[in-house]
Amino acid sequence: MLKGFKISMLSLRIRIFLSMILLIIVASILLASISIIQFKNEAKEYHQERLERKENAVKEHINYILSTTTYPLTSENLDLIFKDKIHELAHIHNIEINIYDLDGKLLKSSKESFSVDKVSPPIPEYILKLVRSSIEKRYVDIKTINGVKNRSSFTQIKDDKFKPLGVLNLPYLEDDGFYEKELHNFLIRLSQVYSFMLIVAFGLAYFLSSYITKSLKTISDKLNETSLNQKNEKIVLEASSKEINLLITAYNRMVDELEKSAVKLAQGEREGAWREMAKQVAHEIKNPLTPMRLTVQSFQRKFDPNDPNITQKMKDYSETLIQQIDTMNAVASAFSNFASMPAQQNETLNVVEVVELALDIFNEEHINFESESPVIVAKIDRTQLIRIITNLVKNAIQSIPEQQEKKTVFVSVKKESNNVLITVKDNGIGMKPQDIDRIFEPKFTTKSSGMGLGLGIIKNIIENYKGTITFDTELGKGTQFTVSLPIINS
Residue 490: CATH number of its domain = 3.30.565.10
Interval 391-413 mean pLDDT: 90
Tell me which of 225, 241, 259 is where a domain ends.
Answer: 225
> What are the C-alpha distances in Å from 483 to residues 190, 417, 467?
87, 14, 7
251 within a domain of the structure (yes/no):
no
Specify whether 374 is located in the same domain as 446. yes
pLDDT in tens, 369-378: 999 889 988 8
Q: Which of 113-122, 126-135, 387-396, 422-431 has the lowest mean pLDDT?
A: 113-122
409-416 vs 367-371, strand pairing mode: parallel
Most confident of 111-120, 147-156, 245-254: 147-156
User: CATH code at 171?
Assistant: 3.30.450.20
Question: CB–CB of 427/400 below 8 Å?
Answer: yes
Tell me which of 114, 149, 175 is where a domain ends.
Answer: 175
Specify whether 42 is located in the same domain as 31. yes
At 333, the amino acid letter reads: S
Interval 232-241 mean pLDDT: 64
At 204, the amino acid letter reads: L
Tell me which of 117, 149, 175 is where a domain ends.
Answer: 175
Specify whether 50 is located in the same domain as 141. no
Domain count, the chain: 3
The pLDDT of residue 484 is 93
The pLDDT of residue 256 is 77
Burial letters 161-189, b for 16+ CB under 10 A, else e: eeeebbbbbbbbebebeebeeebeeeeee
Confidence of residue 174 (pLDDT cuts 50, 70, 90): low
- CA 466, 469, 471: angle at the middle one, nearest 5? 160
128 within a domain of the structure (yes/no):
yes
Please tell me which residue, 480 or 30, carries the higher pLDDT value: 480
Q: Which DSSP letter does residue 399 get? A: T
Specify whether 367 is located in the same domain as 450. yes
Specify whether 156 is located in the same domain as 185. no
The pLDDT of residue 274 is 66
The pLDDT of residue 175 is 62
Interval 169-179 mean pLDDT: 70
Specify whether 479 is located in the same domain as 411. yes
Structural domain for 126, as ranges = 97-175
Confidence of residue 488 (pLDDT cuts 50, 70, 90): low
Confidence of residue 452 (pLDDT cuts 50, 70, 90): very low
264 within a domain of the structure (yes/no):
no
Specify whether 356 is located in the same domain as 392. yes
Specify whether 413 is located in the same domain as 478. yes
Interval 272-293 mean pLDDT: 71
Please tell me which residue, 304 or 178, carries the higher pLDDT value: 304
Confidence of residue 179 (pLDDT cuts 50, 70, 90): low
**What's this model's pTM, rounded to 2 decimal places?**
0.37
